[in-house]
Amino acid sequence: MRIKQLTAHQVLADLFLAMLSSVITVLGTVAFAGLIFSGPLAKVVPLAFVTFLAGTAVSALVVGLLSRFYCNLSGAQDQPAAILATFASGLTSMSILDEGAAISTMFAVIVLSTASFGLALLLLGVLRFGRYTQLVPYPVIGGFLAGVGVLVLIATIRFQSGITPSLESLPQLFSGQTALRWLPSLIAGSLLYWGMNRFRHVLFLPIALIGIVISFYIVASILSVSLVSLRESGFVFRSLPEGGVFDAFKWISFTKIDWSVVLDGLGKIGGLILVCTIGASVATTALEIGAETELEPNHEFRAHGLANLAAALVGGLPAFTLTGPSLSYLRLGASSRLMPLLRPLFSLALGAAGLSLLGLVPKVMVGTLLVVFAFGLMDEWLIRARHRLGRSDYVLILLITGIIALVGFLPGVAAGILIAALDFQVKYSRLNVIKVELSGRNFRSDVERSPRADSILREVGERALTFEIQGFIFFGSAIGLLEHIRKRIGASTQKIEFVILGFANVDGLDAAAHFALRKLKTFAKAQDICLLYSGLSSNAAKDLQTANILDKDLSLYFATTAMAAEWVEDRLLKQSGWDDDPTSAPISAEDALVSVIEERDKAMALLPYFTIRDIRAGGTVFHQGDEDYDTILLVRGTLSAHLDLGGGQSVRLRKFLPGTLTGEMAFYTDRKRSASLMADTDATIGVISGESLLRLNREQPAVAAEFHLMTARLMAQRIISMNAMLRILLANRTPRAAPAR
């Protein structure tokens, strides 16, 4: 921790802001205690206030010490308070539990919730999974938080009126005496929330709350209602028991805890942990953005995990970063860790000093504060979100909020998770997993063939399709891939015989994707199409073999797409009656030259300028970086051009078959060799040196011109093919199917 030298002015500013924040903390703690322990459980509100305040103070001290941001204020939140209030409401409705059992069970649930939340954060931080909590879809987060806002509002009305809002209870809620209990808080909270947005000053809230208390007692004085009457009628909190706040411990006993009720509530506790974890992640991100700083999520999760485990020891509520207050006090001049460390100490002192005054606090003030909390969440996610989210995302928020409000929090959480999963699948399945789509006419292997073979492949290349696939392939995207391939095959003007699926850019396949690929195999079999797979990882290849997707008859596997394309080109040429297999009967040097220059008389005139020689398999014709200007005519065997990457690494650039020319670039550019040329098999080559070409220019200019024209066409054709490939690859999208001609 960096120790900062503070000026007297900075110390005074931190002291003032800590005292101001402690007032809000104490008032919020009163509100949470009254919200959770209402109705028959209200007799332990003073004790709940003490334990909640102690928990908030402990967690705030730990976060203040361990967080990497000096003004990170932690505290109890309205989200877990609302969820725990619904749990407490369920307990009071159980006639099988007496008051002692209900109170003991409720405190057990609070401790278990806080400890579980702390443990979850700690594990996420230790395992460095903090960033994964940020993957929850934004609308789902909004639905959860808006639903919590609705729950806070419902719990507030129930806390003040003793009646759970519903269609059946509306007449009772709006009856004269009952409406006086909750309607003033709703009106005051609405005005206060409007004022907080209109007058953005840190003193506005505490002054307004103090004004509500004063106004309450002025009205009570005018109506001549005594304090005793106000307490008996439920408008003011009860005074402390004669034995003091800790006298309420008589209602708590470990033996009175109904563990079956706790076990039945594990679902709600799990939902609370989920919502709080998401809230902690969102709060940390918002603090980073608002304070223009960078925080490490895993470290912050570990700090908050330890803080909540410590808070659980004293019965505190789940707590995490209070983004709004942290940023507000930062802008007001908080300059060091002194402020967040003094805040919990001042809160404890203020809480202890004002504990005897708890019996004077009107519930309308607490209700107003809770209404402000509820409106903050509902305004953010049900009103403001409408302008910054798409229609489908906003409808999703409304749907999750409605389920939470009408059915309950746990069904809402379950629905939110289910909707998030479905939403992810639907949206991801719409993504185009086909990075590039190519026909055999414009995508060729790295094999250099004779001009005649090249011409044949341009004619029949439409019979082959290549799809380079990207991303993670699951059932939804695999079905989309299948449908696209079907449509592309149906739109082709020629019978498709080969389909290459390139998986080099695929991150993974789930088990459901295998089903779609099997359907593709069935479709290919029905259409008499040969499927070829390339670039599969070893694990993916094994999985496809196990799923009976790869077989030797109708689907083949190659290491690279270029190798698969080479195999397809060989089959297409054989179907067209052309065989340039280097293992077949060798051709003469004259025939090889004729295949390049296409006129025998000119080939015969050019042949004397070539030197014919043999080279053994593995031999090198020239090395990368050599200064020679020979042009090579391949007569027999195969050659390959390799690029040296350094460190003993190299990559094959091109493979050459008989009847092809290579190495001409060095002569025309007067540059060193850019790659090495090696013999894959025993080979026969014809070599025309740079000197021989210059002699040809002098002795037979017409033949020389034809040779230069031929090599220019060859280089131009290579550039055209390369540019066509680059245009498609750089477009990074699937080109439209060619229109029928």
307-335 pLDDT, tens per residue? Answer: 999 999 999 999 999 887 888 788 777 88
Query: What's this model's pTM, rounded to 2 decimal places?
Result: 0.64
Distance from C-alpha of 348 to C-alpha of 355, rounded to nearest angstrom = 10
Mean pLDDT of 516-532: 87
Q: Is the dihedral of CA 648, 649, 654, 657 positive or negative?
A: positive
pLDDT of 479 over the 90 cut:
no
Of 142, 1, 122, the closest CA to residue 59 belongs to 122
Q: What percent of the chain has pLDDT over 70?
A: 92
pLDDT value of residue 735 = 41
Residue 670 has pLDDT above 90, yes or no: no
Q: What own/partner pairs with CB < 8 Å and gap ≥ 24 does 392-395 have?
A: 393/138, 393/139, 393/142, 394/139
Q: How confident is the model at residue 59 (pLDDT cuts 50, 70, 90)?
A: very high
- pLDDT at residue 471 greater than cutoff 90: no
Q: Dihedral angle at the C-alpha atoms of 629, 631, 634, 637, nearest 10 degrees?
A: 10
Q: What mean pLDDT do residues 62-91 have? A: 89
In the structure, what pLDDT confidence band is assigned to residue 553 with cuts at 50, 70 and 90? low
Tell which wins on pLDDT, 252 or 464. 464
pLDDT given at position 734: 43
**Cβ neighbour number for residue 553 with a 10 Å cutoff:** 7
What digits encode the pLDDT tens for the residues 122-133? 999 999 887 777
Residue type, 386: R
Tokens of 256: 């009175």
Answer yes or no: is pLDDT of 249 > 60.
Answer: yes
Q: Is the pLDDT at 46 greater than 90, yes or no? A: no
Task: Please report the pLDDT score of residue 96 as a whole number.
Answer: 55
Rounded Cα–Cα distance for residues 189 and 672 (Å): 82
What pLDDT does residue 738 have?
40
> What percent of the chain clears pLDDT 90, i.e. is strictly above it?
18
Determine the pLDDT at residue 646: 81
Angle between helices 363-378 and 204-222 (to 10 degrees): 140
Which DSSP string corresponds to 606-675?
HGGG-EEEEE-TT-EEE-TT-----EEEEEES-EEEEEEEETTEEEEEEEE-TT-EE-HHHHHHT---SS
pLDDT at 741: 34
Which 3 state secondary structure label does DSSP give 557? strand
Residue 554 confidence (pLDDT): 54
- Paired tokens of 218: 């002025």
pLDDT bracket for residue 736 (50, 70, 90): very low
Q: For residue 378, what are the CA distances in angstroms to 151, 375, 520?
A: 10, 5, 48
SS3 450: coil
Between strands 649-656 and 447-448, the pairing is parallel
Other CB atoms within 10 A of residue 45 CB = 24
Cβ-contact 472, 512 below 8 angstroms: no
Map residue 195 onto helix, strand or coil.
Answer: helix
Q: Residue range 168-194: average pLDDT?
A: 88
Average pLDDT taken over every residue of the chain: 84
Phi, psi of 582 (to 5 degrees): -65, -15
Residue 647, burial from CB neighbour count under 10 angstroms (0-12, 13-18, 19+): exposed
Q: Look at strands 631-636 and 611-615 and give their pairing.
A: unpaired
| Range with lowest mean pLDDT among 15-24, 344-353, 576-585 | 576-585
Pairing of strands 631-636, 661-662: antiparallel
Candidates 622, 4, 18; CA nearest to 334 is 18
Closest to 268 in 3D by CA, of 410, 417, 80: 410
Burial of 669 (0-12, 13-18, 19+ CB in 10 A): exposed
